[in-house]
Structure 1
Amino acid sequence: MHALLSNDWAGLVFAAAVLAMGGLLWLIVRRWWVAAPFGLLALVMAIGSGVHLYRVAEMERLYPAPGTFVEVDGQRIHVLAEGPQNEGPTIVLFGGGHAPGTSMRFIHDALKQDYRSVLIDRPGMGWSGPATFPLSTAGEAKQMWDVLDKAGAKGPVMLAGHSFGGLLAANMARLRPERVQSLVVMDATPPDVILYGPRLDELSALSSDPWWNGFFRLFGLDYQKLKGEPELPPAYQELERKIAATMGEADAIQKAYSTRPRAQLAAHSIFRELTPQGMAAVGYETGFFEGELGNMPLYLFAPQNSVGINDVSTFRNAEEREAMRLQRFYAVARERYLDYSENSVRIVAPENSSHNFLYEHPQFTIDVLRQIAAGTYAPEEQATAELASPAQP
């Protein structure tokens, strides 16, 4: 079903099926009033599907693919590779969630001045074609290496990923450690958080809402509006403004392409890992044990504290003692990435940063990544680098 729903024309298939059911009923009972509702529903579905197809065509006209395409496992994957192919590493960037490459375009545009920088639209996302289901982080890690090979990426690779994209980057590093110059996990999702953490309403919605989002989009409808989604807390609204300001036009592009059913169905499939049952099923393929990455240079880049964590409903509604325990749990789980390599470094994001610090302090983030790529980053220089970075709004 996921494969069918991922096609923009699938709405017409459903409309045709409903019409056929109505026609069959008419042949059986010979009563027009029995078959008429099916014909009317099929007409409404066809009109809605036409609206959706028009929107997709207009979106592709306004925002054409900036990169090239390669085929991996029967999937058409979009890749944007820019910058000089010099002696430095090829930098590969992954955003949080199951985001397309546009989520890291602002970092890419800065780093491509000195390094070969690569953005990949994960299956179903951005300009990439529909995914092959089911999706998994471990499976996509292999696919991303195949994409890099077919796109002609040469030399050592610096992998940098944020949040769920950091878990993907770490899985890639484990598969081909000989190709990795360094691994940068930017407040990456720790498997322990999913396996042993509290049941977060926000994570449950991530794994359930996308299916309905994708289905209703086929008929030009917005499921979130139909559902009556509550207003975001002020802190989240402010964060969204910061992200939009940092990303610029890429923010509008990402939001437009995220409405495609293929993107929503891909997210629904892979976000099943964000449940205890889902992570347990793929734990060995996706998780890590201490020292597994050997002596690979690993940089854990994240806030020191848990700023913004109280905006999650589970924390807001918890008693004070339990809220403190939850914050300590997340703070400890975040640091587990340091145990995966014997050559790990902790980089602290600017004071009062949130999980999305790279959008709140883009220049600081870019400067740190540039230093890691050049092999010049030193922990003792971090305080100086932070003072030297211009203040961000």
Structure 2
Amino acid sequence: MSDILTVPVGLGDRSYDVLVGAGALDSALNRLPALFPRRRAIIVTDKHVADHHLGTVSEKLAGAGLVPHPVIVEPGETAKSWDGLRHVVDALLDLNIERSECVIALGGGVVGDLTGFAASITKRGVGFIQIPTTLLAQVDSSVGGKTGINTDHGKNFAGTFHQPKLVIADMDLLTTLPRREQLAGYAEIVKAALIGDAPLFDALEADGADVMEGEALSRAVAAAVAFKARIVAEDEREAGVRALLNLGHTFGHAFEAEAPKNAIRHGEAVAAGLGLAFAYSAHRGICPKADADRVAKHLETVGLPHGATSLAWTDWDASRLIARMRDDKKNQDGRITLILARGIGDAYIDRDTDETDLTRFLETQL
């Protein structure tokens, strides 16, 4: 077992650790009994993750003196719905969960978001633990306490801020993950570096495609989590600087909304959005073109999209993408808010986007 990296998320009496590395779950077992006073571990997971990991995780929990109680949800974004939320909340209530207990989210971002939301509203709040099984969830959604479901009005439009008690990012749980899903998660690591950690980007760039392997990946995950932890500690509820974590997401969410279901992955859309955010920053004369070119080259080197035309779906329309961007939750006073960059490691919030200029720019990129 490799050394486990511990990243603290400092939020006063709601602080918690993120354990990163191969074998992180084994290293966490001695912590768990204190979080389960009734010695039962309610585990929310989906059918796909259950097939791969539920048996092993349940055995480890049983070895720590806990009795597993699985709650199975449907795989995919359809679970992040009012019906999916009702299913999980009813399951917790059927088990008569107490406020002193925790529920485990075992899965990717969908399971984590859904379970966290259910935990936050059941009996006005029970604890939960994140055991993310995708790289994307390890570096992004499992840390920071943003929970939620999708509604007819948009992605994650109903939710709460509810911090986990512990996050266990065990790299051994990624072994069954397809390469495409691993790459989609890596986009969030690059995003952290581009927002405010230029030395991290230099290191990722130096590793090239090898960054996706072994200890290099564990170090990259821990560095990205540490960066996000600093942002969350400063701005837990996204009133200011935390909005920087949406670098690439305004473009990315528009791509996701416009593409056919399952045509592109969230991380792929974010990667393309990162490339466009830097390209648009260079277009406006804010960012050196050389930095935008470095970003595009690194994304291409590791096998990620770096713009609209390198996504698996390419039938885009600039005006429709702009319409999607107008619905973004970060917008204020009817104006599109973008996260742009003055250079690598120097992102900022831009609330003065000229829609006409942005539309023209997008037309050149499609």
After TM superposition, is the score higher than 0.5? Answer: no
Higher relative contact order (CA 8 A, sep 6+): 1
TM-score by length of 2: 0.31
TM-score by length of 1: 0.29
Looking at CA atoms only, which structure, 1 or 2, has the larger radius of gyration?
1
